[in-house]
């Protein structure tokens, strides 16, 4: 039995609609221009705080907006590098199986770079965050919540990407994760391997990887990153 993301014409979420509305405003403004406060923009989009925060995460990961604190803070149009603009063009592609498959293949190629860099740049607080996501993966597995398991898995990878010192690598990697996450709409169970067994295997691999990063064991990180990336195509969502 294996878990695979079902890719197709997924419905657009309220968070994605809100993100698109703010992105449209940003497109018409100059870099550095103030778009408004979080509350102003949330009210404009007509969504809940949780939905707006998810939209904001999407916008930040795509390099569309920057958030500044303080009385004169709020959301501002981000200064986009050429690589961020390229990432946004990739995100605009139709989400057919081929494009998502390409995103997974490129993500796999970048994983070893990301994991090796995480050794030097993961603080104790960052490692704690990684462990929380591994625990969330296990909890979702025990609840037979395949989508929840995948989302915790992707969140772990996002956290590891966030500590990377390279803006280019962070931008490309998070854009690829957005493609995969945004267009995986269900989890299908197939073959003969028990669901719990497969999830446990993937949890253990990620748990071992996190502990190798925490121990700054470069040799083990390289081995585990290779094991993670060299999975059959059907399992690469994991």
- In terms of domains, do 46 and 122 share one? no
Domain count, the chain: 2
Q: What's the predicted TM-score (pTM) here?
A: 0.58
> CA-based angle 82:83:89, to the nearest 5?
90
- Estimate the share of the chain in helix, then strand, then coil, as percent rounded to the nearest 5: 65, 10, 25
pLDDT of residue 12: 62
- In terms of domains, do 49 and 93 share one? no
Which residues have C-beta within 8 Å of that of residue 223, sequence separation ≥ 6? none
pLDDT of residue 52: 94
pLDDT of residue 150: 84
pLDDT tens sequence for the chain (238 residues): 333 444 444 456 888 899 989 988 988 888 899 999 999 999 999 999 999 999 998 888 767 898 998 888 899 998 765 444 444 444 333 344 456 667 777 888 899 999 999 999 999 999 999 999 999 999 988 888 877 888 899 899 999 999 999 989 998 999 888 877 776 655 554 444 566 777 888 899 999 999 999 999 999 999 998 887 655 444 445 5
- In terms of domains, do 69 and 86 share one? no
- In terms of domains, do 154 and 167 share one? yes
pLDDT of residue 200: 85
pLDDT of residue 93: 37
- In terms of domains, do 115 and 45 share one? no
- In terms of domains, do 126 and 194 share one? yes
Burial 17-51 (b: 16+ CB within 10 A, else e): ebbebbbebbeeeeeeeebeebeebbeebebeeeb
Domain boundary among 77, 100, 125: 77
> 152 is in which domain, residue-wise?
2-7+82-235
pLDDT of residue 3: 39
pLDDT of residue 84: 47
pLDDT of residue 21: 92
- In terms of domains, do 186 and 130 share one? yes
């Amino acid at each position: 039995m294996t878990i695979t993301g079902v890719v197709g014409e997924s419905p657009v979420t309220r968070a994605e609609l809100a993100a698109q509305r703010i992105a449209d405003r940003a497109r018409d403004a100059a870099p550095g221009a103030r778009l408004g406060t979080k509350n102003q923009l949330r009210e404009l989009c007509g969504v809940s705080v949780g939905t707006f925060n998810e939209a904001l995460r999407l916008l930040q990961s795509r390099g569309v907006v920057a958030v500044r604190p303080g009385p004169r803070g709020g959301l501002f149009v981000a200064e986009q590098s050429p690589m961020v603009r390229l990432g946004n063009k990739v995100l605009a592609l139709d989400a057919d199986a081929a494009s998502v498959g390409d995103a997974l293949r490129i993500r796999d190629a970048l994983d070893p770079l990301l994991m090796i860099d995480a050794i030097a740049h993961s603080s104790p607080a960052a490692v704690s965050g990684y462990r929380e996501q591994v625990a969330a993966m296990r909890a979702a597995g025990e609840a037979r919540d395949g989508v929840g398991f995948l989302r915790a898995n992707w969140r772990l990878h996002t956290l590891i990407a966030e500590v990377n010192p390279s803006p280019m690598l962070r931008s490309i990697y998070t854009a690829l994760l957005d493609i995969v996450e945004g267009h995986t709409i269900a989890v299908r169970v197939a073959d003969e391997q028990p669901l719990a067994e497969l999830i446990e295997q993937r949890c253990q691999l990620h748990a071992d990887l996190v502990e190798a990063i925490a121990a700054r064991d470069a040799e083990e990180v390289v081995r585990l990153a290779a094991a993670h990336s060299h999975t059959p195509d059907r399992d690469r969502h994991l």
